Amino acid sequence: MSRQEVLVIGPIMPFVVERLKLHHDVVECENEADSAGFLAREGSRVRAVAVGLHGLSAKTIAALPKLEIIASFGVGYDAVDVAAAARAGVVVTHTPGVLTEEVADTALGLMLMTVRELSAAERHLREGRWQSEGNYRLSDGSLTGAVLGIVGLGRIGKAIAKRAEACGMKIHYHGRHRQADTAYPYHETVVDLARAADVVMVVAPGGAQTRHLINADVLAALGPHGYLINIGRGSVVDEAALVAALREGVIRAAGLDVFDDEPNVPSDLIEQPNAVLLPHVGSASRATRQAMGQLVVDNICAWLEGKPPLTPVPETPVPDCT
């Protein structure tokens, strides 16, 4: 296989760049002082692009007339304009599977922190209040016997369900359609799911179709004894409605690992004592992130060797690469 030029656009973990350099000549567009000028000069030669969470716009795709593959780092790929890629005949890949277990572990941990108030209890100890005020108060929530309503029962959603069942929870779900291979109760709408659930776990992808899917109506249906957990995409939750719900006792608490405008978390949300907030660490172990990065590399290398990509997204074509 001859070495070819691979373009890396936006911030991405150094591991990806290092591994790509073993096989190809890598140009990091972020390191170019004049990225627009660079694309105008060099874009006509680029067949493959690797991108991080910032994705790729239709404008940039149009500036790369010979582009054939966009390898996106992450299972979610809503930051890549897949419609523009499809129109241009460009295949988009992502990194599913390799992060499933790690994210499911984080989801379970975040749910435990939120429902059992573990982070608040830790602060009680660290601030010396155990000594000065006595024991931390009894938490109101418990996982045992509770109903977990999962929004998005894909790979990660099913891995979360398996863990939650081990904690004695009952699983319900909502998705675009009922899944014939699962016996979990299905709800046609998110509002109906929220009414039935003690905890709503959001695992849905981002994008226009799911933006603010979790809104004031859903939170009201979840109710004053309910919990919201989001490890999917921040855009799925209406953060203003969530702040109001937390402040007014519409729901009991929320645990979030993702936000609408990362890393800018609204101060109103940070100020809510019944919100547990993590800085998007769902898959953030070294081993998992390296596995994700290797899949980015493997998709690009396979394509440039004339082989099919390993993990293409369904919205873009996979033309004959021979």
Catalytic residue status for 262: yes
Contact 141, 197 (CB under 8 A): no
Alpha-carbon distances, residue 275 vs 51, 115, 230 (angstroms): 32, 10, 11
Exactly one of 18, 30, 188, 262 is catalytic; which is it? 262
Catalytic residue status for 248: no
Exactly one of 163, 195, 212, 280 is catalytic; which is it? 280
Best CA proximity match to 198, nearest among 169, 161, 178: 169
Please spell the DSSP secondary structure of 171-195, one letter per residue.
EEEE-SS--TT--S-B-SSHHHHHH
* DSSP SS3 for 24: coil
* Angstrom distance (rounded) from CA 236 to CA 83: 20
Alpha-carbon distances, residue 104 vs 162, 164, 219, 236, 316 (angstroms): 9, 10, 23, 18, 27
* Angstrom distance (rounded) from CA 245 to CA 224: 9
Contact 299, 310 (CB under 8 A): yes
Catalytic residue status for 177: no
Helical (H) or strand (E) element with 10: none
Best CA proximity match to 71, nearest among 41, 100, 48: 48
Exactly one of 94, 233, 252, 289 is catalytic; which is it? 233
Catalytic residues: 233, 262, 280
